[in-house]
């Protein structure tokens, strides 16, 4: 438990303390943001998604890079992306064992997310190739 990083979200009547590795996604609902954890717990705080994005950046610093804004309605934990279905406009988030969530997201947003992953794969392959050449 010593190495875990926590996100604290304070709403009017409640305080949430969440291990960031357990946050699967955030979803906008007007002036509120819903969140879903890997143990299927859900919650809601009174802030819009842009404010949530700011809180993630301010609170988590470099650890915030595991989260990405996908379209207008979602911030997802990139570690849980299982499948990007551009044509079907579906994003599947799963840990491979306990849960799978399907999110309806625009084609453009999914294309950008897919490009992010393809770019990450090229960077990793390039780094390995450079290390082998040394």
- Name the band, by pLDDT with cuts 50, 70 and 90, for residue 124: low
Q: How confident is the model at residue 97, as a pLDDT?
A: 92
Q: How confident is the model at residue 13, as a pLDDT?
A: 85
Question: Which DSSP string do the residues of 18-65 spell out, in sequence order?
Answer: EEGGGEEEEEEETTEEEEEETTS-EEEESS-HHHHHHHHHHHHGGGGG
Query: E strands, 46-134, where?
Result: 67-70, 74-77, 81-85, 90-94, 100-104
**What is the pTM (predicted TM-score) of this model?**
0.86
Q: How confident is the model at residue 126, as a pLDDT?
A: 47
Q: Do 63 and 5 contact (CB within 8 A), yes or no?
A: yes
Residue pLDDT, tens place only, 25-72 = 999 999 999 999 999 999 999 999 999 999 999 999 999 999 999 999
pLDDT above 90: residue 3: no
């Amino acid at each position: 438990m010593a190495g875990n990083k926590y996100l604290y979200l304070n709403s009017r009547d409640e305080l949430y303390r969440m291990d960031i590795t357990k946050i699967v996604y955030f979803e906008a609902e007007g002036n509120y943001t819903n969140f879903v954890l890997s143990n299927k717990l859900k919650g809601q705080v009174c802030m819009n998604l842009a404010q949530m994005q700011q809180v993630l950046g301010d609170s988590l610093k470099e650890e915030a890079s595991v989260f990405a804004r996908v379209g207008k309605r979602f911030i997802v934990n990139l570690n849980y992306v299982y499948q990007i279905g551009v044509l079907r406009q579906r994003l599947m988030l799963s840990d491979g064992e306990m849960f799978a969530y399907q999110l309806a997201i625009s084609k453009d947003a999914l294309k950008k997310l897919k490009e992010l992953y393809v770019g990450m794969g090229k960077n990793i392959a390039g780094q390995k190739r450079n290390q082998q050449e040394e």
